[in-house]
Structure 1
């Protein structure tokens, strides 16, 4: 099993710091719940001393001590036997089976001594004390009878030297100990889950890893923005981190190859749901904002989204031009001030791959390139269908949208291999939908305070309404 690098574990801990805390809390809660659900048990303890009755000389004392130590182990077994339990049960008038009562008694010889520690555990503290007291009395009598021989006194005497004790607090469960034990088990469990999740997580989170897998640099990082989730395009006056990310991407894109900058760019992803269409539209808006003439081609002929996101007509477009039923200038739609034009998908055909790989498509791309500074093609995902790889050869390069924490590493590798197989050039990778609190955002200067952004928006609204600057 390949070990997880410490750097990845530390990164995961910063991202999943709440998981060990959660298991720590749940462990303590489980310990408390166990204590609350357990029946309280009370323990009464006492100590018995075993001695010989006939000892006059030092030798007698030594021999008597050895004799008593030999008896102690046997006496401990008698204390936990059913015979003695039956006597205690009868004398106390308990309605309890002797075996059950015997199970409540624990007798332990103290090593190298003539002492026996006895504990009685019961659901009632006072009953445990009564059982222990009666147990001592009945055991003393039992020993006297067992050790007495005809015509002689018993050579051994048992004396209760301590107890029986009485405790108002239960000996079981120990709530504090159980809570501490639960927390002690919960914390490493949470840490283990973090490590396991790190080991099992195959999604892309690191720009360097993405670049290595795709064989192209990460040229942009787009922050997650709830406005884009709903509207899909940012306002040209927006200063949100996502909008600034698209503007930075515009600058980086123009400097990919200074001698021969790419003009026709296919934008795609490994699988659906990685934000490629949103990336296409907002990159086009940012380029138009920078004074460039841009055309967007809705070439995803299976699940077109461009016109729907922009609220434009989708009835005629690319497929009509490729089929020869319409001219390009008849189906182009302007968006905004005219520096951005949209070529909708048109009617969805039964053979998208054949249309996108046709000579008509190649001619169309060349025509659009002569009339625009940039042509952005919103293509289908690379892996599910062959449409994107067929279309990629007609463009100057491919821009891959990779969604942070969503796209798997193996999918990025397979996408790069598929593009390389047809000779397409991967211009770069855009790490998309990056959470504002992600570790990588700080390294790229994207981390921001959502509260400050909200306050800035309120200040702008106040200025527009009152015409005054905020304090």
Structure 2
């Protein structure tokens, strides 16, 4: 992913870093409130040699001390030294527990040892640090004194006396909160980027057009009212109404010489908004003064008649089996009758054969002669074969692609299916796009452009 794609991933998944901030802050707060405060007392020890009467001897002694300093740091944190301190102070700790509270580190390039002791009591931390220094000095003298000699060539001096800590060294609420927020935000942002990287669903119109082999001629935003009613009020200036007016206009000027007049609306998978697209496209065309026939060609799950509040019963299956003429089952919508709907009719055991039959081809030719546009709501292309045979009989296929749901693989397979039978995909509709998505801004849906109310004369 490039930097721009990462930014888009963070914008789309903004709630993940926000949730990470919240959880990180809560975790830091929990750690702060449940952790017992501890105090740290510090002291410093200076290591030197006793034989340093000349400059050369002092230099050699300093080198000797530097070589031993790492070993002395290990001795300071050993359980043996801790056991001496426990015995000396009568602590209710094991040598191992005390050793874990002692830290020692040589100051780089020097012969100084930094020693720190941590304890829940500041006074006891100071006492332990003082005793650690005393016991360490005695231990070094014992270890470094050669056999038969009374003095040690190494001398350890307390360079900085153990201090009495005034404030706890842990927890540190401000620092812990900052660390928690940073870690939480980082994990949330990383999750958003990884999720976007692994997400195979389609969100970019350019990618949709490339995979489908046809331009995106419509973008419809998510609309709760449209999801409930399945019809837009074309007399309003809502975003959904404008989206379908755009779709209707783009369709009419898609190919000026040979415009697609018989159009099949389908999708790769169910629940991608194809029926809503078919219904509202037909309404928009009729509202523009076109004579439109809308056919409920999804014989397995018909929805058009219920969306438009029409009568179900006799319909397309009766026409295709020769029982009735299409004029007898066509139901007008609206007062001017510019839109007529042919319902699905009774369920059929062989929907794929009916939709690809010669009778279907004849019906489409008859409707073409009497209407400007014929719109068919067809089944999805991947789960069933019904729409594949029907796609050959129409002028073009309009695919509904659901934003964030239809995957790249599904759209690729849909294109392959249509190409295999020689069908023509005239365009795609990117459907159910979140209003906050970048696509909404790119297509101008983030701006309002309603008519100004007329000025009142005075």
TM-score (norm 1): 0.84
2:272 to 250, 268, 274: 274
Deviates more, 1:279-288 or 1:136-145: 136-145
Query: 1:103: Cα distance to partner?
Result: 3.4
Using the alignment, how far apart are the partners of 2:149 and 2:370 within structure 1? 130
Deviates more, 1:290-299 or 1:17-26: 17-26
- Give the equivalent residue in structure 2 for 1:259: 257
Aligned partner of residue 237 in structure 2, secondary structure = coil
- Give the equivalent residue in structure 1 for 2:443: 444
Query: 1:355: Cα distance to partner?
Result: 1.1
Using the alignment, how far apart are the partners of 2:198 and 2:125 within structure 1? 54
Closer/same/farther in 2, CA of residues 35 and 358 from structure 1, 3 Å limit:
same
Aligned partner of residue 47 in structure 1, secondary structure = strand
Q: Kindly indicate whether the alpha-carbon contact (under 8 Å) linking 1:436 and 1:448 is maintained by their aligned counterparts in 2.
A: no
Query: 1:233: Cα distance to partner?
Result: 0.7
Q: 1:256-297: per-residue Cα shift (whole Å, max 9, x none)?
A: 232333222111111111111111111111111112221111
Using the alignment, how far apart are the partners of 1:193 and 1:352 within structure 2? 45
Aligned partner of residue 192 in structure 1, secondary structure = helix
Using the alignment, how far apart are the partners of 1:392 and 1:56 within structure 2? 104
Q: Kindly indicate whether the alpha-carbon contact (under 8 Å) linking 1:296 and 1:341 is maintained by their aligned counterparts in 2.
A: yes
TM-score (norm 2): 0.87
Query: 1:134: Cα distance to partner?
Result: 2.9
Aligned partner of residue 99 in structure 1, secondary structure = helix
- Give the equivalent residue in structure 2 for 1:343: 342
Query: 1:207: Cα distance to partner?
Result: 2.3
Using the alignment, how far apart are the partners of 2:303 and 2:431 within structure 1? 18
Query: 1:208: Cα distance to partner?
Result: 2.3
1:8 to 2, 5, 9: 5
- Give the equivalent residue in structure 1 for 2:162: 164
Deviates more, 1:191-200 or 1:212-221: 191-200
Query: 1:187: Cα distance to partner?
Result: 4.3
Query: 1:31: Cα distance to partner?
Result: 4.0
Query: 1:308: Cα distance to partner?
Result: 0.9
Aligned partner of residue 340 in structure 2, secondary structure = strand
Tell whether 2:101 aligns with 1:104: yes
Alignment of 1:7-406 (within 5 A): 7-50=4-47, 76=73, 78-110=75-107, 113-140=110-137, 147=145, 158-337=156-335, 338-406=337-405
Aligned-residue CA RMSD (Å): 3.3
- Give the equivalent residue in structure 1 for 2:426: 427
Using the alignment, how far apart are the partners of 1:71 and 1:421 within structure 2? 81
Using the alignment, how far apart are the partners of 2:5 and 2:151 within structure 1? 80
Query: 1:150: Cα distance to partner?
Result: 7.8
Q: Please, which runs of 5 or more residues in structure 1 have no aligned partner?
A: none
Using the alignment, how far apart are the partners of 1:14 and 1:250 within structure 2? 31
Closer/same/farther in 2, CA of residues 425 and 115 from structure 1, 3 Å limit:
closer
Closer/same/farther in 2, CA of residues 469 and 436 from structure 1, 3 Å limit:
farther
Using the alignment, how far apart are the partners of 1:237 and 1:48 within structure 2? 87
Closer/same/farther in 2, CA of residues 332 and 131 from structure 1, 3 Å limit:
same
